[in-house]
Structure formats: C-alpha cells, structure tokens
Amino acid sequence: MKLYFLGTCSGTEPMPGRHHASIALEMENGITVFDAGECCSYTFFRMGLDPLAIRNIVISHPHADHVGGLFNLQWLITKIINRFGRKIDHEVHLYLPEMKIRDAMILLSDSLKGYPFTYSLISDGVVFEDGKLKVTARHNTHLRETQAPWHSYSFLIEAEGKKIVYSGDIGHISEIESWLDCDLLIMETGHHVAAEVCNYIRESGHNPGMMYFTHHGRAMLADTEGEILKARVYMPQAEAAYDTLTLEL
C-alpha cells in the first residue's frame, strides 16, 4: 500500500513546486483519490500512476483548492479510454460533500462521454467499504456550519490493518481527537500552526505513529524547516509533505 501526495499547498496564490490539495492511496485492487486540487491529474500521471486504476474519488469540501482539478482528472480518465482504446472493468465513484459539484461536472459532460462516473453524497459514518478499504467520514466546522447538512468532512481510512486519518480542512484538531491514535495522521496547516497542533495532540495524550503536515499555509511555506522544528518539540515524528512525496505503508 502506497500513499502519494499529489498537491500540498493551500489556496494561496500559485507557489513554485506546489499544487493544491490532493492525495492518492494505491492498493492492489485500485486507487482512491482524496481531494482533487488543481494539477492533481498532471502530478498523478507524471508520477507514473495509471488513471484507469482509480476506483474512488472522495472530496472533503467544496472549496476550489480541493476541487479545482476534479474535472480534469475525470477528463484524463475518459481521454485515455476513448483515445487509446483501453478497457476498464469498473466505474469510478465520486463521493461528494454536496451535489452541486456533480451538477458542475454535468455541465461539462460532453467532454466526459464514454465513461459513466457515479456520484454519492457524503454524510457522517461509513462512506464506503469494499472488503479491503473502509472510509469513514466525520463532519467538521471548517465552513463554520452549526447544523446539518454538513459540507466539510475529515476521513478515517482503514486498510491492510492500518488507520490513516486525513483531516481535510478542519476547524480544530479536537474534532478528530478520537481518531488520533492512528498509524498516520495527515493534517492541514492552511488554517493551523503546526506546533500548536502537535502540542494539543501531546497534551491530550495521543500519539500517531507518523504525522505529515500538508495543505500548507503561508507560515509553513515561508519557513518549512523552522515550522517543523518547532512542531517536533512536541511531536518528534512531525514531517512536512511536499508534492510527489510517496509513503510506503
């Protein structure tokens, strides 16, 4: 099982060597993409991954830095099928926090002819489970919503006996506190200070096996090494993800 960081930047102005948020989990039976920021399809393809291996695309919330590359990712799959005549034996299922994203894809559907993408709405609880991979959603307050329907989610990913937590964009780390004793925590810094997050985790008595910060905000982008050194005072395993980083799990 491998995890690929396709984009590690928050919604700042364009940054050299950084693209918007997207990760991909590769297993023997296919690939699941979480978030689809701009240029995710470019990085995906350039890293040598097969777009026709994608089985699921999961979107945490409807901000542009998490969905800006979604259409192009779908178009890449369709183009490879139609242009090169490759066969595919499964649908690509999109799990969305709101169906307006699907409606936007339908407006561009002429470019997606030849492949039936399917769409489901995310809610709290199990998003999907296929016997090898289980993804559970929990709403958060990133969008400052105070009641359902919720449109921003964090995810617990369970596969091959491991637990991976992907924060998405989140109001506060406490919103996923019961998940923090995981094998890998992927936490955003677009709205948080890495050292403060690590201090909270330590003070609350949790200890993730690995910890990678992503969706970097300006403080992390301006001084990545310095921010990580401050974070390691509390969590020595803290690391900063970068575009094209690959983890073997």
From CA 168, how far away is CA 11, in angstroms rounded? 13
Query: What's the rounded mean pLDDT across residues 45-64?
Result: 96
- Of 148, 86, 93, the closest CA to residue 123 belongs to 148
pLDDT, one tens digit per residue, over 169-228 is: 999 999 999 999 999 999 999 999 999 999 999 999 999 999 999 999 999 999 999 999
Q: Are 64 and 169 in contact (CB under 8 A)?
A: no
Residues 73-86: pLDDT tens digits? 998 888 888 877 78
Say if CB 122 and CB 153 are below 8 A apart.
yes
Cβ-contact 74, 111 below 8 angstroms = no
pLDDT single digits (tens) 1-36: 999 999 999 999 889 999 999 999 999 999 999 999
Res. 112: pLDDT tops 80: no
Q: What is the pLDDT of residues 120-143, one digit of tens each?
A: 999 999 999 999 999 999 999 999
Q: CB 87: neighbour CB atoms within 10 A? A: 6
CB atoms within 10 A of CB 160: 11
What percent of the chain is predicted at pLDDT more than 70?
98
pLDDT at residue 105 in the model: 79
* Gap between the Cα atoms of 194 and 26, Å rounded: 27
> In the structure, what pLDDT confidence band is assigned to residue 92 with cuts at 50, 70 and 90?
very high
Q: What does the pLDDT average to over 38-56? A: 95
Nearest alpha carbon to residue 138 among 122, 120, 157, 154: 154
With the CA atoms of 151, 7, 230 and 206 taken in that order, what torsion angle do they form, in degrees rounded to the nearest 10? 50
How do the domains of the chain map onto residue ranges?
2-248
**CATH superfamily for domain 2-248:** Ribonuclease Z/Hydroxyacylglutathione hydrolase-like (3.60.15.10)
Give the SS3 label for residue 57.
Answer: strand
Average pLDDT over residues 90-115: 83
Of the candidates 12, 13, 9, 65, the residue with the CA atom closest to the CA atom of residue 213: 9
pLDDT of residue 104: 83
Give the per-residue pLDDT at 42.
94
pTM listed for this prediction: 0.96
Cα three-residue angle 33-37-43, rounded to 5 degrees? 70
Whats the size of the chain, residue-wise?
Answer: 249
Using CA atoms, how far residue 83 sits from 23, 25, 73, 77, 162, in Å, is 26, 26, 15, 10, 38
